Amino acid sequence: MVAYGVSESVVTETDTESSSQLDDLWNVVVLNDPVNLMSYVTMVFKRVLGMNQQKAEKHMLEVHEQGRSIVWSGEREKAETYLYQLQEWQLNAVLEKHEAS
């Protein structure tokens, strides 16, 4: 499942946040698994996260090739909702505290 590097949209959104806001950011990370099909994972990203086809495929390939992809960053409550939905679709997803670079 992906490999174009870190999601540009996430970086763009967080660049302008203050440090206190950044402290409250969480990443929803999808980890690779050897079972789920690429077409299925792409569809799930579109369905759950509202990605378009191109962005969904990019993240899918990132997962497949790099072993993980940050598919969404933002406030904790919404991150938990996405985490639950991705796990409901049987993807290997985890929540991580956003590390400001």
Partner 1 sequence: MKHLEFRLQPEAVRPILDSVQPLLMSLEDNLATEAVPPEEDEMLVDFWKTDLLNAQRKDVAAIVEVFSDDFLDTGRATLRQENVDHFLRGCSALRLKIRESILSDLDDLDLEKGEVDFDALDLDQKNGYAAYALFASLIELVVYQYEFGAETEMGEGDGEFEDVDEDELDFGDEDDSKDDFWK
Q: What angle do CA 7, 26, 1 make, to 5 degrees?
A: 40
Query: According to the binding rule CB under 8 A, does residue 99 interact with partner 1?
Result: no
Q: How far is the CB of 15 from partner 1 (least distance, A)?
A: 25
Do residues 34 and 1 lie in contact, with contact meaning Cβ atoms separated by under 8 Å? no
Q: Which is nearer to partner 1, 22 or 38 (CB)?
A: 38
Do residues 85 and 95 lie in contact, with contact meaning Cβ atoms separated by under 8 Å? no
**How far is residue 75 from each of residues 34, 47, 49, 92, measured CA to CA in Å?**
30, 20, 14, 20
Q: State which of positions 55-84 bind partner 1 (CB under 8 A).
A: 76, 79-80, 83-84
Query: According to the binding rule CB under 8 A, does residue 37 interact with partner 1?
Result: yes
Which residues here bind partner 1, judged by CB under 8 A?
33-37, 39-40, 43, 46, 76, 79-80, 83-84, 87-90, 92-95
